[in-house]
Amino acid sequence: DIYVDMVLVDVNYWKFTGKWIPTEQAEQCQKTSHHYLHPDSPTSGAQWMKYDKISFSKLKLTNNKQLTATQSKNQNTIILNSMHKYIPRLNIVEVNGKLPDLISSSNRNGLLPKHTFTFPETEFIAVTAYQNTDITQLKIDNNPFAKGFRDSADNRMTYNPYSYESGNNLPVDYYDNTYEDLQAHKKRRYQ
């Protein structure tokens, strides 16, 4: 199995005033979130190694605490606390043929990962509104889940999520783009 969870980096609220600064400690907040199990799990290690890439593109993040654990799992959603800093953690769990009952979704939480990976450059602060207009526009242009932004009056008439110079399909490397690649694409698009 391969799954992702979001780990709380610290217990501070963060505030943006030209830069991100920690303000006060949160009274109560969840240290770890629910996890998102890769849809191809369980799969053998040999099969994982054949993949060109392992994508978590269907994972959604929300601050909606009204979702139950079952709803969250069914909607591929991880619930986060707004204005808190997180780091994604990739977990690899060894599952062998002798444990078929442990593979069921109700028992997966009891399996401890054999390997975990975090990447410091992926730390982020969960927000409900983007603090930077360039980031807002980047999300509008490139995130297929950014429906709320596209429905605003400013963007309703001009936005087409699939209007790329090369045609009406998303680029092959759509989910592999770096921030710099997306910025370069944005500059080409508006020239």
- Kindly tell me if the per-residue pLDDT of 90 is higher than 90: yes
How many angstroms separate the CA atoms of 153 and 112, rounded?
Answer: 48
pLDDT band at 33 (very low <50, low <70, confident <90, very high): low
Strand duo 85-92 + 2-8: pairing: antiparallel
- Looking at residue 171, its pLDDT comes to 37
pLDDT band at 117 (very low <50, low <70, confident <90, very high): very high
Single out the residue of 162, 151, 26, 18 nearest to residue 84, CA to CA. 26
Per residue in 131-158, pLDDT tens?
678 888 888 888 776 666 555 534 444 4
- Kindly tell me if the per-residue pLDDT of 14 is higher than 90: yes
Q: Which span out of 34-38, 54-58, 178-182 was modeled with the highest average pLDDT?
A: 54-58
HSE-CB at 171 with a 13 A cutoff on CA atoms is 14
Question: Which residues in 51-130 belong to E strands, given as ranges?
Answer: 60-62, 77-79, 85-92, 115-118, 124-125
How many angstroms separate the CA atoms of 163 and 171, rounded?
Answer: 11
- Kindly tell me if the per-residue pLDDT of 178 is higher than 60: no
Per residue in 52-66, pLDDT tens?
899 998 898 888 877
Mean pLDDT of the chain, nearest integer: 72
- Looking at residue 74, its pLDDT comes to 67
Q: Tell me the sheet residues that pair with 36.
A: 4
pTM of the entire structure? Answer: 0.64
- Looking at residue 139, its pLDDT comes to 80
Q: Please count the other Cβ atoms lying within 10 Å of the Cβ belonging to residue 12.
A: 18
**Domains of the chain from N-terminus onward:** 2-125 (2.60.40.820), 133-189 (no CATH)
- Looking at residue 29, its pLDDT comes to 67
Q: Is the Cβ–Cβ distance between 79 and 64 less than 8 Å?
A: yes
pLDDT band at 109 (very low <50, low <70, confident <90, very high): low
Single out the residue of 33, 84, 82, 81 nearest to residue 59, CA to CA. 33
Q: Which of 119 and 191 is assigned the larger pLDDT?
A: 119
- Kindly tell me if the per-residue pLDDT of 80 is higher than 70: yes
Q: Which of 127 and 108 is assigned the larger pLDDT?
A: 127
What does DSSP assign to residue 18? Answer: S
Cα dihedral across residues 116, 174, 59, 63: positive or negative: positive
DSSP H stretches of helix in the chain: 45-50, 69-74, 133-142, 147-150, 153-156, 179-189
What tokens appear for 11 in the block? 């217990």
